[in-house]
Chain A
Amino acid sequence: MIEFCMPSLGADMEAGTLCEWLVSPGSVVKRGDIIAVVETQKGLIDIEVFEEGTIHKLLIKENEKVPVGTLMALIIPAKETTPKTEKRLAEKIQTIRPTPAIQTTAGGMIAAGIKSSFKASPLAKRMASEKNIDLSTVKGSGEGGAITREDVEKALMEKEAGIPVVKPSAVENIRLAVAAAMTRSNREIPHYYLETRVDMSRPLAFLREANKQRTVKQRLLPVVLLIKAVAKALKEVPDLNGYWEYGLKLKSEINIGFVVSLRTGGVMIPAIHEADKKTTDELMDSLNDMIPRARAMKLRSSELADSTVTITSLGDENVETVFGVIYPPQVAIVGFGSITEQPWAENEKLDSRPVLRMTLAADHRATDGNTGSRFLMTVKRNLQKPETL
């Protein structure tokens, strides 16, 4: 039997609310099928399944909020026809289900901002549970924002008086999610920073020529060359492609998280899966598909959960340099500023060139400056051969 649990869609996620099941017992599912819609701080997320089989039981009701890792459904694997392990699982469910209150996940990977909204006294928790009050909707007035008995009583009064509960808006949620992830990053990760300048004359000339042959719709942006150059460099310097989980755990797939900034504030970081294997055209297609969905907060679970490294690129008409903050548990973030016309000395001559400032912020627990430097120099070399990207 396959156990389908509430997925963790990033270090900043503690719990999710099941909005809708898109399957029912008996439904046949295959890898990549979307089986549920879950509301998180990053919007409504389509949840995919990664196994083939038949839905046996749905264990969570719609509109129920559960912590990451909670068993949500049982799936009979394609090869198994009878639910042999059901009894054992039923016992397991018994042990999981009576404690729906939000729990601390392993490794203390809790979003500080979210955690505070659930801090409550034992009495307040019990009252809320008895009176069916969702603690995520109660504002705490106790020490450090803890929810007290009085807060629950007030919420109960408001509920009985029919005063609608105002949930934090999507904009506030995103802000909290970013705040939580970045707070954890700066608290836990000893960052080191490196920077280098890249002469972009060749890659830009290559793009200009390539785009002349294309229709408007097929045009490439410089950022696809940057993504591909980074993905290729990670194959040569793989130590920056992984997670820090009580030691450096390298990842075999190179899934590049691409920072998309929202006009209302906050960022979404969808993953471009296996970017090293994609052509520049395929990378542009990925961006065309993902960026509008990221802005509309309509991403898939695999896009939010699978990044192994992050790129933040400011595009044109912006500042020249950006140093990122690592998205835990990843160990590196590559920053690209705007390409600007700058003086450039080469072969004892001074010239003016389009220059890109490329930075790396990396986790010093996982790697040292020497590795980071080797990586940046490899990206730089890759960019000087745009035709091979």
Chain B
Amino acid sequence: MNETELKKIILQSLKKVAPDTNPEILQAGDKIREKLDMDSFDALRFIVELNEKTGVDIPEEDYGKIVTLKDLMHYIMKK
């Protein structure tokens, strides 16, 4: 999976869990939850969705490492 494909999966997953937001506006350095007004419930569903699409399991203690779009992409690419 290259970066473009991963970004597409991330944006699709965000759109699925928060259909009334516009994930396309996210810049690499933006904090995802803050920018899209997602609560902890949305965030958990997003992680579930990412897990299903990429197979990457993000444990709770790593939530702090995936705050921005850039961080999240870096984290998944490394796994």
Taking Cβ atoms with an 8 Å cutoff, the residues of A that contact B are: 208, 211-212, 216-217, 219, 221, 223, 261-264, 287-288, 291-292, 295-296, 315-317
Contact = CB atoms under 8 A, between A and B. Distances in A.
Interface of B: 17-21, 33-34, 37, 39-41, 44-45, 47-48, 51, 57-60
A295 B38 CA distance: 12
B20 A291 contact: no
B60 A208 contact: yes
Contacts of A287: 41
Contact of B20 (A221, A295, A316): A295
Nearest to B37: A263
Contact of A263 (B20, B51, B57, B58): B20
7 cross-chain pairs, A with B, having the tightest CB-CB distances, nearest first: A315-B40, A216-B51, A315-B39, A316-B40, A216-B48, A217-B48, A263-B37
B18 A315 contact: no
A292 B48 CA distance: 14
B17 to A, nearest CB: 8
A287 B42 CA distance: 11
Given A216-B48, A217-B48, A263 B41 contact: no
Nearest to B61: A208
Contacts of A295: 20
Contacts of A211: 60
Contacts of B48: 216-217
Nearest to A222: B40
Nearest to B20: A263
Given A288-B45, A317-B33, 5 more contacts: A212-B59, A221-B41, A263-B18, A263-B37, A317-B34
A205 B5 CA distance: 37
A211 B18 CA distance: 24
Contacts of B57: 216
A219 B40 contact: no
B21 A219 contact: no
